[in-house]
Structure 1
Amino acid sequence: MRLLLISDTHLPKRAKALPEELLGRIARADAVIHAGDWVDAATLDLLEARAARLIGVYGNNDGPALRRRLPEVARAELGGLRFGVVHETGPAQGRERRCAGRFPDLDVLVFGHSHIPWDSTAATAGGGMRLLNPGSPTDRRRQPYCTYMTAEVADGTLSEVTLHRLPPRHPAGRR
């Protein structure tokens, strides 16, 4: 099962549209996971129309219309693994411990908010929960690149977790 992980799209505040490279990956993904801060319902509509399966949550910048359509926390079983999605996880320091305590039943937690890519494992009684933040495909903030992630999952194993860097927009834009 091929996964596409994104967060913090902030459309149309930070960019006018999702990058073409990212749009091309939607059709090839078995599931798209969006960890919040969509900002506009049009992005949710687009992903709902194009994705084979969409799992998403609202973020702190998402208004009432998006909050009516999306949960604060989402859970799904994908390829034999228990996934969770949430927008905010708090400060980087202590993140693994906090998330393991809050979500003891998950194998993988996808989150956003910081726009900073993250890939770590929290020590848990069952082995370890993987924490993934794909960054943002439209608003790099203080990061060198806009980013998103892809991964594969099969038979209870997460593999091929890849952070993708997007090229700068042209003409010179905000990236």
Structure 2
Amino acid sequence: MRLLLMSDTHLPRRARALPERLLADLPHADVVVHAGDWVDEATLDLLEQRSRRVIGVYGNNDGPALRARLPEVAHADLDGLRLAVVHETGPAQGRERRCADRFPDTDVLVFGHSHIPWDTTTDTGLRLLNPGSPTDRRRQPHCTYMTATAADGELRDVRLHRLPPRT
């Protein structure tokens, strides 16, 4: 099962649209995961129209309309892989312990908020992934998103995709 992971799109505040390279990857994904801060409903509508399945949560910049359509925390079983999605996990210091305690029955937690790509594994085996932002790099060198594969209860082939600068 092919996954496409993104967060913090902030459309149309930070960019007018999702990057073409990310849009070109949508048809190849079985599941699109968005870890919040969509800002507009049009992005959710677009992903729902162009994707087989969308798992998303709302973020701190998402208003009442998105909060009515999305949960604060999402859980899914993807071919035996126990996935959770949340927008905020708090400061980087102590993140692994906090997340392992909060999500004890989870294999992979996808989160956003910081716009900083993150890939670590806790001492309990919980994999933490932040795909960064495909539209707002903040102080990072690149806008980013991730792809991965879920198969037989395992996450494989996690790849961070760096996007070219917007013109």
Runs (4 or more) in structure 1 with deviation over 3 Å come to: none
Letter in 1 for 2:92: A
- Give the AA of the match of 1:131: L
CA RMSD of aligned residues (A): 0.5
**Residue type of the alignment partner of 1:15:** A
Matched with 2:19 is 19
1:1-175 equivalence runs, <5 A: 1-124=1-124, 128-170=125-167
Please report the TM-score for the alignment, with normalisation by the length of structure 1.
Answer: 0.95
Cα distance per residue 1:25-58 (max 9 Å; x no partner) = 1111000000000000000000011110000000
Query: Where does residue 173 of structure 1 map in the other structure?
Result: none
User: Shift of the alpha carbon at 1:130?
Assistant: 0.2
Q: Secondary structure at 2:156's aligned position in 1?
A: strand
Letter in 2 for 1:73: V
| SS of residue matched to 1:44 | helix
**Structure 2 CA distance for aligned equivalents of residues 39 and 53 of structure 1:** 20
**CA separation in 2, counterparts of 1:142 and 1:84?**
27
Q: CA deviation at 1:77?
A: 0.4
Q: Tell me the TM-score normalized by structure 2.
A: 0.99
Shift of 1:169: 1.2
Partner Cα separation in structure 1 for residue 109 and residue 166 of structure 2? 30
C-alpha deviation, 1:82, in angstroms: 0.3
2-structure distance, mates of 1:97, 1:160 = 25
Number of positions where the alignment pairs a residue of Structure 1 with one of Structure 2: 167
* Structure 1 residue 104 displacement after superposition: 0.3
Please tell me the residue identity of whatever aligns with 1:113: H
Q: Structure 1: give runs of 5+ residues left out of the alignment.
A: 171-175
Give the Cα–Cα distance (whole angstroms) in 2 for the partners of residues 158 and 109 of structure 1: 11
1:155 alignment partner AA: D
**SS of equivalent residue, structure 1 residue 42:** helix
Question: Matches of 1:105 and 1:157 in 2, distance apart?
Answer: 14
Q: Return the alpha-carbon distance in structure 1 between the equivalents of residues 115 and 166 of structure 2.
A: 17
**Shift in Å, 1:80:** 1.1
